[in-house]
Structure 1
């Protein structure tokens, strides 16, 4: 009598990995970016993809409040966001890097004068992927004379390339009033022309 037995041969199954097991450890480059003493942001089409620790301290937001948001979060107005963006995008289309000084807004609403430096990793589409570094201009000893609230307001528009007529329209004041404030700014800061004025404007919080 022949007995027939079915023997199941266990099949090898790969181990089930948990999310914790599959999450790779941060690379040296990633740790360096996150811990850099310079505030840095990685943007994709002007949306914040990563914000390092220094950027979180500079702007007053934690990563959860920044990542996934438009960089508009860091500007005091849509006009500034659009104008600066257009200027930077045009420059990056033919240059590897861009640098300027501009007003930016931190979490508590304070508007600060900052130096921004950016590079594109996608020259064919400049804003597809960019890396930006920021620092307060005041931190580099560039503080100047005190400006009145109106002078600071005028300065914010001057530095972003607006004419006296455009500023007057934006603020709802006369063209002549803007010219007077602009002249005072030039005198206070020792500027001989618009280019010098833009380079010397410092906001005093």
Structure 2
């Protein structure tokens, strides 16, 4: 009996202090999470328990579309791996590698375990951007339109479009998806 108790305590300690961010979800709500998960997303544990994972996505559209895709993967394979944008408590968007396992194969989201790892890439290109371009790029990475950015920075949306074009050229981007991906990498 004592070994069982010790074994359970040891498993709990291992979970809480694992070096990777781990969350257990029930129907996409946080059931349990470890310290690394709280640190990654910038929330205290009690602010996450019982909350929909939606809280950690950049938008409802991302929550829904990624959920639809991962549900199908888990239904077929019981496991899924992807890279996606997530959002921390300060509203900052960042890129993660996410791995999920379902514990209920017939209803994949009923009970699942997920790990998240922030993808860090060097800042070598950020030195090429001006302070204003870095400022504009952070708004772009967080999904704001040129008009919204213009209003927030008290400049015209045409000026924001010009900054956006310069940023795209400096970072060697061909489309918006590449641009956002590279901006996220610069912010790490």
User: What TM-score comes out, normalization by structure 1 length?
Assistant: 0.62
Distance 1:87 1:60 in 2: 26
Pairs within 5 Å for 1:58-137:
58-95=40-77, 96-106=79-89, 109-121=90-102, 122-137=104-119
Of 8, 32, 36, the match for 1:54: 36
Pair 39,154 (structure 1): closer, same or farther in 2 beyond 3 Å: same
Distance 1:179 1:87 in 2: 33
Give, in whole Å, the separation in 2 of the partners of 1:64 and 1:79. Answer: 26
Deviations 1:49-75 (A, max 9, x none): 111011122222222221111112223
Q: Tell me by how many angstroms 1:193 deviates.
A: 5.3
1:31 to 6, 10, 13: 13
Q: 1:40 to 1:77 in 2, by over 3 A?
A: same
CA distance in 2, matches of 1:168, 1:182: 11
1:135-170 CA-partner distances (Å, limit 9, x unpaired): 3333xx44452554443333344xxxxxxxxx8699
Q: What is the 5 A alignment of 1:124-163?
A: 124-138=106-120, 141-143=121-123, 144-145=125-126, 148-157=134-143
Report how far residue 103 of structure 1 moved.
Answer: 3.5
* Structure 1 contact 45–129 (Cα < 8 Å) conserved: yes
Which residue of structure 1 lines up, in the alignment, with residue 153 of structure 2? Answer: none
Higher helix proportion (structure 1 or 2): 2
Alpha-carbon distance, 1:35 to partner = 0.9
Provide closer, same or farther for how the CA distance between residues 172 and 65 of structure 1 changes in structure 2, counting only shifts above 3 A. closer
**Normalising by the residue count of structure 2, what TM-score does the alignment of the two structures yield?**
0.67
Distance 1:182 1:61, change over 3 A: same
Q: Deviations over 1:14-73 (max 9, x none)?
A: xxxxxxxxxx66343332111101111111111001110111222222222211111122
Give the alignment's Cα RMSD to 1 decimal. 3.7
Cα distance 1:195–1:177, how it changes in 2: closer, same or farther (>3 A)? same
